Amino acid sequence: MTPEMVVSIGRDAVLTMLLVSAPMLLSGLLVGLVISLLQAVTQVHEMTLTFIPKIVAVAVSLIIFLPWIMNVVTEFTVRLFGIIPTL
């Protein structure tokens, strides 16, 4: 196993992790931004107001994107298993 191969596997793992987590992180970010704007406009600064909508948004995005996430993780795993004989 060469150092280039280790770096390539690590890069693919980080890219896969970013791809898999992006839908949930972006939905939580957008919901948090919208609620922060509403709080700024209405001057209601309740810290606990953002938790429930963020949790719901992340759960909904997980349900929506779960087939795609499973596909990405499965493809990554198949690629890893495919390179085992070359190690």
- The predicted model gives 44-61 an average pLDDT of 89
| Single-letter amino acid, residue 30 | L
Per-residue b or e along 14-35, where b marks 16 or more CB atoms closer than 10 Å to that residue's CB = eebeeebeebbeebbeebeeeb
Contact at 8 Å (CB) between 81 and 51?
Answer: no
Contact at 8 Å (CB) between 55 and 27?
Answer: no
Contacts of 26 (CB under 8 A, 6+ apart): 61
pTM of the model: 0.81
pLDDT tens for 13-36 read 999 999 999 999 999 999 999 999
**Domain locations in the chain as residue ranges:** 16-86
